[in-house]
A and B are shown apart, each in its own frame.
Chain A
Amino acid sequence: MSKNQLPHEFSDLEVWVQDWALTSEAARYQKLHTVTLEQLKPFYDAMLSQIDSVLTYLDQYTISKLPADALILYNLAMTFAETAHPLDLNWKDVDFPDAYPWQGFEFRTVSATG
C-alpha cells in the first residue's frame, strides 16, 4: 500500500488522491465529463462532509507556501470545487440537458495558481 499523502487528519480522504487530486482546471473539467454521476457521488459525499475542516486546515498556510501534503489536499479541494455543481444542483447526470458540448472549450494558462 502506498504511503499516506495527505495530512493525517484527513487520512480517510486518502482513497481519492490518486484519481481526484488534479492540478489544472482543464484536467478537472475532463474528469467531470468522463465519469458518471454514480462515480462522482461518493467523492462528492466524502468531500462535502469534510470541506469545512479542509478549508480551515488549508488556511493556516498561504498557497505559495503549502507543504507537500497540504498541496495535495488543496488540489483535492479544488477538484471538489469544480465538480460539486451537478450534485449540488440535483442534476440527473454530470451534465445538463441541452448544454453546449463540453469538448468545445479550450483552456488558456492563467496567472493565478491552480
Chain B
Amino acid sequence: MTEECITIFKGDTSRLKNRIPMVDRLSKEFYEQEVKDIFAKSWLIIGDSKELANKGDYFVTDVPPLKASLIVARGEDDKVRVFRNICRHRGDKLIHDASGCAKFFTCKFHAWNYSNTGKLVGVTDQGQFKDLSKENLGLIEIHSEVWEDIIFVNFQEQPEQTLKEWLGDIYNQYTGFSANRVKVADHRVVVNTNWNLAVNAFCEGYHNLFIHKNTVPDYQGSPTNPHRHRPYLEVGEHFGRYSAPGNPNHKPTPAEGIFYQHSRPMFPSFAHFDMDALPIGVNPSRFKQWAFDIVHLFPNTVIGPQANTNSIMMFWPISHEKTDIRVMRFSYKTDKPSDRIAQAHSLVRNREVLREDLATMETQFQSIISNGLPFMHLSEQEQLLQNHYRAADDMLKREG
C-alpha cells in the first residue's frame, strides 16, 4: 500500500505567504534597495577556511553586490581576517592574483608594504610624507567570523547581531560536520537571472522528480513517497532547512555501481549512515533513508551536508538580472586512488544536475519580467522559498 511521507514541519510559519507577487521584486530599483538593506547588513558567506591551511595562506574574492574585492588571509598569529583589497595610499588594488602564501603584501604601485595581519609596515620614502601615521593606516578590516570552516563577513561598521545571534539555534548544531574534508570542486557560472530565483531553485525538492529526470532519475523518493516529500522541513529567522529522502531502491548506473563498490557511496547513491556520528543539526529528524540536507543561509547561500561530501553554493547578484553562481564541493581527505575516482564521478553527476537547475532560471526570469505572472504560488514543500521572502521583507521593512 502506498503511504504518503509525512513531513515534520518546524519553526514559526505564521508570517509565511504562499502567494508571492514577483515582478516588482525583479526590478532594478528593488535590487538597489536589497543591496542597501540586505547585502550591506547581513552576515554573508564568502568562502571556506580549508583553503587557508597554513599561516600566510590567502585568497582574493569579491562581493559583487557591494562591488568589494576582499583579501581573506590567515595571519602569522593563525587568525583568519578579511580585509578590503585596497592599498591605503591611493586606493589601488593591493593583490592581483587569486591566491597564494605570503608574510607581506606589497602594493605594486608605490610598494607600500603590509603584514598578513593587516599592519602597514613599510612606506617607501616615508620622510616625504607629512604627518603620516602608519599605525592608523593598516588594511581596512571587515567584520568576519569563521563557523564550521565557513567564512562569514558583515559590512556594517558595527554589526547589529553577532553571527551567533544571526544564526540562532543552528549555531551550535553543526559542530565538526565538515571536518577532515578537502575541496574537490569549484565551479563558477554567470546566469542571466535574478539572484532570488537562483537561490529559490536550490531551496525545494518539489522539482526533482521532473527536472532531474535526465541525470538522477531515481535518487530520491520511494513507492511510499511518490511525490518525494521532505521528511523534515524547518524555517528560522535567517535560515531554512530540509532533509531529502533517499530512494532505498535506487539502481546505480553501471559505472556508478562499480565505483562505489571500491569506495564510499556518494550522491546519487546514499548509503545507510551511522546517524550517531552526525551533529544534531544534520538530518535533524534522523530520517533512516536520509540522502542529504539543504540549508539555506539567508540571504544568498545554500549549504548541503551529506554523509561523505558537502557543498557551499553562493548566489551573488551582479545586477538585478545577472547572478554569479559559485559552487564549492568538499569530500573526505583520501590518498586512495579509487576514492578520488569515485568522488570525481559523484561531483560530475552533481554538476550535471546543476546544469538542469540552471536551465530553468533564465526562462523563469524572462517570464516574470514580461509581467505575465501576477503571483508565484508556493506549496508547503516550498516553505523555504516562502521563508526567504519573509526574511527579505523583514530586512526591507515591507509588508510583502
Binding site for B on A (CB under 8 A): 25, 48, 51-52, 55-56, 58-59, 61-64, 66, 74, 77-78, 80-82, 84-85, 88-89, 91, 96-100, 102, 104-114
Chain A minimum-CB-distance residue to B333: A112
Segment at the A interface, from B24-32, B141-149, B181-189: B181-189
Q: Flag if A74 contacts B341 (CB, 8 Å).
A: yes
Q: In angstroms, how far is the closest chain B Cβ from the Cβ of A2?
A: 24
Say yes or no: is B3 at the interface (Cβ < 8 Å to chain A).
no
Given contacts A55-B337, A88-B254, 19 further A-B contacts (CB under 8 A): A52-B258, A52-B261, A59-B336, A59-B337, A66-B337, A78-B341, A81-B348, A85-B215, A88-B253, A96-B214, A96-B352, A99-B356, A104-B190, A108-B186, A110-B184, A111-B50, A111-B51, A112-B184, A114-B340
Set of chain A residues within 8 Å of B227, measured between Cβ atoms:
none
Q: Are A88 and B187 in contact (CB under 8 A)?
A: no
What chain A residues lie within 8 Å of B341 (beta carbons)? Answer: 55, 58, 74, 77-78, 81
Which of B261, B262, B344, B355 is the one whose CB lies under 8 Å from A100?
B355
Q: Is B119 interfacial (CB 8 A cutoff)?
A: no
Known: A55-B338, A81-B259, A105-B189. Is A112-B348 also a contact (CB below 8 A)?
Answer: no
Q: State the total of A-B contacts with C-beta under 8 angstroms.
A: 133
Cβ of B76 under 8 Å from chain A: no
Task: Report the interface size class on chain B.
Answer: 35 or more
Q: Is B256 an interface residue (CB 8 A)?
A: yes
Contact A111 B344 (CB under 8 A): no
Q: How far is the CA of A98 from the CA of B351 in the complex (A)?
A: 15
B195 to chain A, nearest CB (A): 17
B345 within 8 A of partner (CB): yes
Q: Are B344 and A78 closer than 8 Å at their CB atoms?
A: yes
Is B286 on the interface with A (CB-CB < 8 A)? no
Partner of B215 from the list A59, A96, A110, A114 (CB cut-off 8 Å) is: A96
Question: B336, B341, B343, B348 — which one has the most chain A CB atoms within 10 A of its CB?
Answer: B341
Residue of B nearest to A58 (CB): B337
A106 to chain B, nearest CB (A): 4
Chosen A-B contacts, 20 in total, with CB atoms closer than 8 Å, are A48-B254, A51-B258, A55-B338, A56-B262, A59-B262, A59-B336, A64-B335, A66-B337, A74-B337, A80-B255, A81-B259, A82-B345, A84-B256, A89-B253, A96-B214, A99-B356, A106-B187, A108-B98, A108-B187, A114-B340
B344 touches A25 (CB 8 A): yes
Q: A63-B335, A64-B335, A100-B355 are in contact. Are A84 and B255 (CB under 8 A)?
A: yes
In the bound complex, do residue A61 and residue B187 qualify as a contact, i.e. CB atoms below 8 Å apart? no
- Tell me which of B187, B215, B262, B348 contacts A55 (CB under 8 A): B262
Which residues of B sit under 8 angstroms from A89, Cβ to Cβ? 214-215, 217, 253
Chain B nearest CB from A109 CB (Å) reads 7
Q: Which of B144-191 contact A (CB under 8 A)?
A: 182-191
Nearest-CB residue, chain B, relative to A108: B186
Chain A residues, CB < 8 A from B348: 81-82, 85
A1 to B400, CA, bound (A): 72
Q: Within 8 Å CB of A61, what residues of B? A: 337
- Docked Cα-Cα span, A96 to B212, in Å, equals 11
Query: Bound complex: CA of A51 vs CA of B254, how far in Å?
Result: 11
**B68 an interface residue at 8 Å Cβ cutoff?**
no
Of the listed residues A74, A80, A100, the one surrounded by the most CB atoms of chain B closer than 10 A to its CB is A100
Whether, in the assembled complex, B349 has its beta carbon less than 8 Å from a beta carbon of chain A, the answer is: yes
Asked if A110 contacts B185 (CB within 8 A), the reply is: yes
Q: Does B385 contact A (CB under 8 A)?
A: no
B66 at the interface (CB under 8 A from A): no
Q: Which of B338, B342, B351, B354 has the most CB of A within 10 A?
A: B338
Given A81-B342, A112-B182, residue A98 in contact with residue B189 (CB < 8 A): no
Give the top 4 A-B pairs by smallest Cβ distance, nearest first: A108-B186, A88-B253, A100-B358, A58-B337
A112: chain B residues at CB < 8 Å are: 182-184, 331, 340, 343
* Contact between chains at B255 and A51 (CB < 8 Å): yes
A64 to B186, CA, bound (A): 21
With A63-B337, A85-B349, A99-B356 already in contact, the answer to whether A105 and B344 are too (CB < 8 A) is no
How far is it, in angstroms, between the C-alpha of A97 and the C-alpha of B188 when the chains are bound? 22
Q: Are A102 and B355 in contact (CB under 8 A)?
A: yes
State in angstroms the CA–CA spacing of A51 and B257 once bound together.
Answer: 11
